[in-house]
Structure 1
Amino acid sequence: MSLAIQLGVVVGYLLVALAVGLVAYRVAGATAEDYYLASRSIGTLVLLFTTFATLLSAFTFFGGPNLAYQAGPEWLIVMGALDGVLFAVLWYVIGYKQWLIGNRNGYLTLGEMLGDRFGSAGLRALVAGISLVWLFPYVMLQQMGAGEAIVGLTNGAVPYWGGAALITAFMIGYVTLAGLRGVAWTDTIQGLFMLSIVWIAAVWVLSAVGGLGAATSSMLAARPEFGSFGGGLYSPAFIVSSAITIAFGVTMFPQINQRFFVAKSGAVLKRSFTLWPVLVLLLFLPAFMIGAWAVGMPIDVPEGANVLPVVLNEYTPVWFAALVIAGAMAAMMSSSDSMLLSGSSYFTRDLYRPFINPDASERREAWLARIGVAAFATLAFFASLLRPGTLIEVGDTAFSGFALLALPVICALYWDRTTRDGMIAGVLVPQVAYLTVVLSSVLPLVPTLPRSVAGGWDIALGLMVLSAVLTVGVSHLTAPTAESDASRFAVAGD
């Protein structure tokens, strides 16, 4: 009976999300701008929570508590304080300027914006192609998280592939119907629900183990080092590397970067990034601390299992544990549906239209986007069955890959002297180098290259510096092309 309750709650919650998508489909317009950007009509609450829910992924709900359980609660500082604040700053530096430019020129994607500024279809395709490459492991991450969540919730009664298949099927059905309008509506509901439920879960667990003091004392008795800052995994190199690569990577995620285009006014965008650090801390505090407190609880967390479902199964009723996992899976779906929607726009707008069918109708483009969603999600599902690393490892790979795009984009937004050749060099060379490092760990007969150097500094940080040096250096050595037009980015704030 408990298994039926667990699966009933999970599937029921996902069906509610699908119903919202159906409503959105009925009111959506037929244009690409409406499908991808909800006609740039999003207000503060929805923009804040659709961005929030889009980042509520398996990396947050399972990877984060797992890392806090293994290494200590400092992960809250890395993700909550440092990245919450740093991403808010980047939201202003990159996002607000993008909104001003996109609102004036009608851009739908980052590649479209850069390609038009530099008069280069090649640059447009390069940015889109790189984004799709790194988007693939992050979509796969959500499917891995869903599979592991269902295994943990049902104590293995439902296999890993079943959970991964469940979320894949729902997100394909949802995205092909809803577009961004439905995604944003559902994200708002899911974000509010998950924020509430994770706090209720923390209070429930604390009550069951004797309160905050008892939970903290048991944690420190089991792992005294959790009571001091730094040490172990949390070296300065690890903290700084993680904070920078994650925050800069998030700004370049297609599903986040496109959110910079959708606000209905500049005031909406400004209010959203101002409130962001508070919202992030409100979520990460209970989720990560449950993972840290778990080291002092009399529970058995199997090797490779996620700690959050184990704690909930032990200290909360079956229906509530299922509700939390359902919410977490919905959060993964919120991330996945946004990724698939943005990925399809990058494919159709930046690859299909410029190189295959420039005269494609809006209707043809919309249907091609839906087919692309299904194909991309299905391929990611099969890749997730191979389980290529932990949730943290897979997520970190994607963050770093996207982070390498950030500094060239900032140069393009703020430095008129940036040239097409400078952009191509600054984007392409670091990406090839990083992809070589990543693939060296999986390709046979190829020496494995280190992902970190000199005591834990992520190699991606050095490649970010290289991206800026190449963009600026090559731009100084080359002349702007006749097709480039810096005036397209000359906008004034409101």
Structure 2
Amino acid sequence: MPEVAVNPVPFFVVIGLYIVLMAGIGIYATRHTNTMQDYFVLSGKAGFIVSGIAYATTQYSMGTFLGTPGTIYGIGYAGMGINVPGVAFSLVIPAIFIGRRLVTLGHREGFLTLSDYLSDRYENKKMSGVLGVMMLCFLIPMMGAQILGAGILVNVFTGLPNWVGIVGMGVIVIGYCMTGGMRGAMMTDVVQGVLMFGAAIAAFVICLVMGGGMSSLNESLAKIGESFMTFPGANGAMPWGYYVSNILLWSFFTMGQPQLFTKFFAMKDHKTMFRSVILATVGMMLTCTMCSWAGVLGYPLIGELSNHDYIIPVIIQRGLPPVVASVFIAGIAAAGMSTIDGVLITATSAATRDIYQKFINPKASDEFIMKISRYVTIVIGVIVIIFGCAQPGSIFIINTFAFAGMAMFIVPVLFGMYWKKATCPAAIASIVSGVVTLIACTKVPALKAMIHGFHAVVPAAVVAAIVMFVVSLATQKYAASEETLKRHMLVK
């Protein structure tokens, strides 16, 4: 990686002010968080601005500002072919297929989590324990991918080792999530969303100014290699199968993400949902497109980097005065924090409500669950910090794998909403078989070769759907009652 001028004082001053602001929001949220419904879903009272920004910022992540631009930096324009259309539909598709029903069911039935919905639809509260454990297995790596980015930011701007940023971000997010729950997470998301948008604009504009305009940068990129300008990208990294399946992963399979699923339960009504989706989609399209474009243009501007994840921080660091650069770097840190806080609340609910209250100790009161949730948040947060310090892979690879794993929840959700014969044994079998197939097609060379360049999520989803259909037909004695089906499938 080329040398960068390290100036830690402005960075620490700006980040310090940002931490104070987040702490203040957490304290305010704590004073208005009195029930478990407040803690997990804001009692279903979130308006469209808060909902829209929180919906988008939970989908934003360090991948948006580090992992994805870093990957596109090494591929070229072909990489934008996945990111831009994927973002365009990632929030609209869930709203169309499941959002309206979830808003209604969340208010009417008091659902707080994805497992709440599934265990009620399939009339088996004990399945929450199984689903909760599986969620944690993927939610923790997803948070770990975000926290890795904090280490990169601190390293670029201060020269300190990565673990300093990893531990620092972990402690901050644990603090305001432990105290304010979903209210604290969604309120901080509003501030973080504004900072993210500013960081994306800054990175793109810096590229144009420093590189002499789009035409000049594109000419320089073409000289480096024509493959950067066309499909399938540099080194043939974006074959059509991988291209199509990744668009599906980042758009259609968003419906299976429990941290986004829960956002529908927090929304005030259907009108709020539609306004939120429009606001979130426009904001994400602009932000992600500019970040991705900066990743493409960064190669001729910055040159070769040993770690591609550094590209956006290096562009901002080189193109702006230290204090201004630090403000926008806080925006990138906000991208990770906004994802971690939403996922952390979801992971906490999986551990306390889905596993403990429903599976281990059904007699536990809501007041007790709310109390221990704060301590569980600390425990999960510490595990995430340890995961980040271990640095098991790149941000993009970890984030993609975790996202694909949670995508398997889409099968029992959609079958449950639109097919009366779907059963509980089939729901569990579909998720397990889907996850096993995902891991096998990712890790076993022979199976990986058989899918001909497609992402492993595609065969995994196909297997999960087939298992769901076959097992449901074979286990009709476990089908939900007419009363339950009427509540879930005839939602107005």
TM > 0.5: yes
| 1:228 paired residue among 227, 230, 233 | 230
Q: What does residue 205 of structure 2 align with?
A: 203
Q: Give CA-to-partner distance per residue, 1:299-350, whole Å, 9 cap, x none.
A: 4523455111122222222122222221111221111111111111122211
Q: Give CA-to-partner distance per residue, 1:37-77, whole Å, 9 cap, x none.
A: 11101111111100111122111110011011100133333
Question: 1:186 aligned to 2:176?
Answer: no
Instruction: Judge conservation of contact 2:70–2:308 (CA < 8 Å) in 1.
Output: no
4+ aligned runs moved over 6 Å, structure 1:
none
| 2:25 paired residue among 20, 28, 33 | 20
Q: What does residue 473 of structure 2 align with?
A: 476
Q: Which moved more, 1:310-319 or 1:168-177?
A: 310-319
CA distance in 2, matches of 1:302, 1:430: 35
Q: Which moved more, 1:70-79 or 1:128-137?
A: 70-79
Deviation at 1:451, TM superposition (A): 4.7
| 1:461 paired residue among 448, 458, 463 | 458
The runs of 5 or more residues in structure 1 that have no matched partner are 442-446
From the superposition, tell whether residues 491 and 263 of structure 1 become closer, same or farther in structure 2 (CA, over 3 Å): farther
> Which amino acid in the other structure matches residue 187 of structure 2?
W
Normalised by the length of structure 1, the TM-score is: 0.92
Q: What does residue 384 of structure 1 align with?
A: 388
Deviation at 1:423, TM superposition (A): 1.5
Q: Give CA-to-partner distance per residue, 1:255-311, whole Å, 9 cap, x none.
A: 211002111011111222244432221011211111111111254523455111122
Q: What does residue 167 of structure 2 align with?
A: 165
Instruction: Judge conservation of contact 1:72–1:226 (CA < 8 Å) in 2.
Output: yes
Structure 1 SS opposite 2:390: coil
Structure 2 SS opposite 1:119: coil
CA distance in 2, matches of 1:19, 1:137: 28
CA distance in 1, matches of 2:367, 2:343: 21
Alignment length, in residue pairs?
Answer: 483
Structure 2 SS opposite 1:457: coil
> Which amino acid in the other structure matches residue 486 of structure 1?
L
CA distance in 2, matches of 1:211, 1:436: 45
> Which amino acid in the other structure matches residue 164 of structure 1?
I
CA distance in 2, matches of 1:449, 1:384: 30
Deviation at 1:454, TM superposition (A): 4.0
Q: Give CA-to-partner distance per residue, 1:190-240, whole Å, 9 cap, x none.
A: 112221332133223322322233223222232322222434212111111
CA distance in 2, matches of 1:328, 1:305: 12
CA distance in 1, matches of 2:446, 2:25: 46
CA distance in 2, matches of 1:475, 1:361: 34
| 2:256 paired residue among 248, 252, 258 | 252
Q: What does residue 131 of structure 2 align with?
A: 127
> Which amino acid in the other structure matches residue 381 of structure 1?
I
Instruction: Judge conservation of contact 1:88–1:273 (CA < 8 Å) in 2.
Output: yes
Question: 1:487 aligned to 2:480?
Answer: no
From the superposition, tell whether residues 89 and 204 of structure 1 become closer, same or farther in structure 2 (CA, over 3 Å): same
| 2:67 paired residue among 63, 68, 86 | 63
Q: What does residue 245 of structure 2 align with?
A: 241
Deviation at 1:181, TM superposition (A): 1.3
Structure 2 SS opposite 1:226: helix
Q: What does residue 75 of structure 1 align with?
A: 79
Structure 2 SS opposite 1:121: coil
CA distance in 1, matches of 2:222, 2:19: 38
Report the aligned-residue RMSD. 2.1
Q: Which moved more, 1:319-328 or 1:163-172?
A: 319-328
Q: Give CA-to-partner distance per residue, 1:360-407, whole Å, 9 cap, x none.
A: 233321121111111111112112222111111101111110111212
CA distance in 2, matches of 1:449, 1:328: 39
From the superposition, tell whether residues 200 and 314 of structure 1 become closer, same or farther in structure 2 (CA, over 3 Å): closer
CA distance in 1, matches of 2:210, 2:192: 26
CA distance in 2, matches of 1:416, 1:298: 56
> Which amino acid in the other structure matches residue 381 of structure 2?
A
Q: What does residue 444 of structure 1 align with?
A: none
Deviation at 1:455, TM superposition (A): 3.1
Q: What does residue 276 of structure 2 align with?
A: 272
From the superposition, tell whether residues 27 and 199 of structure 1 become closer, same or farther in structure 2 (CA, over 3 Å): same
Q: What does residue 310 of structure 1 align with?
A: 314
CA distance in 1, matches of 2:47, 2:336: 23
Instruction: Judge conservation of contact 2:198–2:331 (CA < 8 Å) in 1.
Output: no
CA distance in 2, matches of 1:292, 1:453: 31
Deviation at 1:436, TM superposition (A): 5.1
Structure 1 SS opposite 2:392: coil
Instruction: Judge conservation of contact 2:178–2:374 (CA < 8 Å) in 1.
Output: yes
Instruction: Judge conservation of contact 1:221–1:296 (CA < 8 Å) in 2.
Output: no
Instruction: Judge conservation of contact 1:248–1:403 (CA < 8 Å) in 2.
Output: no
CA distance in 2, matches of 1:221, 1:124: 55
Instruction: Judge conservation of contact 2:302–2:315 (CA < 8 Å) in 1.
Output: no
Question: 1:115 aligned to 2:114?
Answer: no
> Which amino acid in the other structure matches residue 269 of structure 1?
M
CA distance in 1, matches of 2:174, 2:253: 25
